[in-house]
Amino acid sequence: MRRLLLATLLLAALCLAAPAAQQSPRLIVIVVADQFRADYLTTFAARWRAGLRTLVTEGAVFRRAEYPYRHTDTCAGHFTIGTGTLPRTHGMVADTWWDADARRTIECTDDEKAQPVTYGLASKLGKSGRWLLVPTLADELRSQKPGARVVSVSLKSRSAIGLAGRGGDAVTWFEETAGVGSFMTSSAFTAQPVAAMKAFIERDSFEKEFGQVWTLRDPADQYRFADAGVGERPRNPRIGLFPHATKGLTDSRNDAFLLWRESPLSDAYLGRMAIALVDAFALGQRQATDFLGVGFSSTDTVGHAFGPESREIEDTIARLDDALGALIAHLDAKVGRANYVLAFSADHGVAPIPLASGGGRVAGDDVRERIDDVLTRHFGKASARWTVAGGGQPKLADGAMAKLVAQPAALSEVTRAVESIPGVDRLLRTDMLSEHSRDPMIRAAALSHMPGRSGDFVVITTPNWTMTARNGTDGTTHSSPHDYDRQVPMILLGGGIKAGRYDRATTPADIAPTLARIAQVAMPKAEGRILQEALR
């Protein structure tokens, strides 16, 4: 209560200090590229001719933006950007976690109480921001500014909902479950398909793009990276070489949409969808402050398959530059640069392809088996398994951690068994984490930790070693606490923003409170700092 009061007083003081002429922007836009490393901005700079060019030349560019926490994945990143808080506060600690009540692993946006509302084929999977513990900027906007419209679109539910939060007028994602492959929303947002979204999908069907061929945007000799790099793992039947078909070996619709998702065609489509919704909802074109969230996903799907040093990612980002350019040009024309404020960032980066970087892969299954073996030796066979969830955050069956803590010899045996796996640097106990620790890994792990959702242990891999399932087919991945996963671009553009280069340390949790400050919306729960240095 006292914090709330303090925040309200602070906000009131800030509002009084603001120049009288300054108006609330009519539109707040957050654009997130999934798996976009900070160094892409400079590595591929020669490519920019549209949106990214506008952002780096006319925006406020924060050159030292990084996530301070360990578990760098899509759910954690988008909800951090959306809420201005860290995972240990917003609770969306990972893409999936073990649900002790349901006794199964769930996705962070799963909600069995929400009915799926489809724009195509039926789905059984309801999604919402049910597990989110704090409001997003868009949630605060809806409750504090009457008439605010909230639109958020992505191929992933955790991205669209991560930016929107618990409500919104058109919150849309793509359900990629076999046999579904359709754009969706849920009863958490609307009882019926949203007319404007339905109209867009009918007018511009993504299924018309099945069978199209992904070719290079620019002449081949302009690309920095060679085609068919070592360790690439494209989806069947693609090979490492351009051009890439958006068609499987058969006419399977399933194969086609997975290949479409793993190509820049899907980002271009999402860009067109965002533009159509700006018009349909007259976002930023009324006496109100609206919100638009756009989560581009193909940088992630292409990045997992081909890695950060591939011609494919280079071309995907070149085409994202065009999609962003079209969106910014549309906002400039319809809303006016001074009347909107746009933030661009990413949810996480990515590791270089282990095969090419001298690293390797750690199978989460191996970690799990080693823990199981030690516990079985000491305590006998478990009724099901000693570890109920594996991967980078192993979780033990109920009561097992207490047994281990009571037997220090068994506990150190677990640590030794896991740390002797090649590519594992450390195994941390989550009951020993502290965000005030002098140890940066313990600090980072604490900021990702939520008791009940996170595991009992955290695996820290050696740099350039990725953590996957034993039968994982990705070329590379993310989710580690290493620089390549934590460092992301962060750029603000538009009304109220002072263009320039900024070298003070920032985190993507600073985005929401800064945009809220510009829009004069209170965010009492936000933990990020207001980026005063870039405000007019």
Q: Which residues bind Zn ion (CB under 5 A)?
A: 300
- Smallest distance, Zn ion to C-beta of residue 108, A: 13
Two structure tokens written together for 438: 């002098």
CA 165 vs CA 118, 136, 174, 188, 331: distances in Å: 19, 5, 17, 10, 23
Nearest to 34 by CA among 218, 178, 158, 176: 158
Q: Residue 456 or residue 474: which is nearer to Zn ion going by CB? A: 474
Q: Residue 423 or residue 475: which is nearer to Zn ion going by CB? A: 475
Q: Residue 289 or residue 298: which is nearer to Zn ion going by CB? A: 298
Q: Residue 300 or residue 321: which is nearer to Zn ion going by CB? A: 300
Instruction: Give the CA count within 13 Å in the CB-facing half-sphere of 473.
Output: 6
What residue is closest to Zn ion based on CB?
300
Q: Residue 300 or residue 413: which is nearer to Zn ion going by CB? A: 300
- E-strand stretches of 297-432: 340-346, 360-363, 387-389, 395-396, 424-429
Determine the Cα–Cα distance for residues 245 and 307; give it in Å rounded to an integer. Answer: 19
Tell me the sheet residues that pair with 186: 116
Does the N-terminal peptide bond of residue 237 adopt cis geometry, omega within 30 degrees of 0?
Answer: yes
Instruction: Indicate the burial class of 130 (C-beta count within 10 angstroms; 0-12, 13-18, 19 or more).
Output: middle
Q: Residue 140 or residue 474: which is nearer to Zn ion going by CB? A: 474
Cβ neighbours of residue 446 closer than 8 Å, sequence gap 6 or more: 88, 433, 434, 435, 437
Q: Residue 139 or residue 262: which is nearer to Zn ion going by CB? A: 262
- Smallest distance, Zn ion to C-beta of residue 260, A: 17
- Smallest distance, Zn ion to C-beta of residue 517, A: 31
Query: Quick check: 166 and 128 in contact, CB under 8 A?
Result: yes
Determine the Cα–Cα distance for residues 387 and 438; give it in Å rounded to an integer. Answer: 29
Query: Quick check: 310 and 225 in contact, CB under 8 A?
Result: yes
φ/ψ (deg, to 5) at 98: -80, 120
Q: Residue 300 or residue 366: which is nearer to Zn ion going by CB? A: 300
Q: Residue 339 or residue 479: which is nearer to Zn ion going by CB? A: 479
- Smallest distance, Zn ion to C-beta of residue 105, A: 17
Q: Residue 54 or residue 393: which is nearer to Zn ion going by CB? A: 393
φ/ψ (deg, to 5) at 458: -130, 130
Q: Residue 298 or residue 339: which is nearer to Zn ion going by CB? A: 298
- Amino acid letter, residue 129: G
- Smallest distance, Zn ion to C-beta of residue 107, A: 13
Q: Are strands 340-346 and 490-494 parallel, antiparallel or unpaired?
A: antiparallel
Two structure tokens written together for 354: 């282990």
Instruction: Indicate the burial class of 118 (C-beta count within 10 angstroms; 0-12, 13-18, 19 or more).
Output: middle
Q: Residue 50 or residue 346: which is nearer to Zn ion going by CB? A: 346
Two structure tokens written together for 117: 């509302």
Two structure tokens written together for 20: 């009288």
Q: Residue 152 or residue 466: which is nearer to Zn ion going by CB? A: 466
CA 470 vs CA 366, 391, 489: distances in Å: 8, 10, 32
- E-strand stretches of 198-355: 213-214, 244-245, 290-296, 340-346
Whose structure tokens read 């740390």?
Answer: 419
- Smallest distance, Zn ion to C-beta of residue 304, A: 6
Determine the Cα–Cα distance for residues 265 and 261; give it in Å rounded to an integer. Answer: 8
Q: Residue 300 or residue 485: which is nearer to Zn ion going by CB? A: 300
Cβ neighbours of residue 201 closer than 8 Å, sequence gap 6 or more: 119, 120, 183
Determine the Cα–Cα distance for residues 401 and 167; give it in Å rounded to an integer. Answer: 38
CA 432 vs CA 76, 158, 374: distances in Å: 21, 29, 21
With H, G, I as helix, E, B as strand and everything else as coil, classify residue 154: strand
With H, G, I as helix, E, B as strand and everything else as coil, classify residue 258: helix
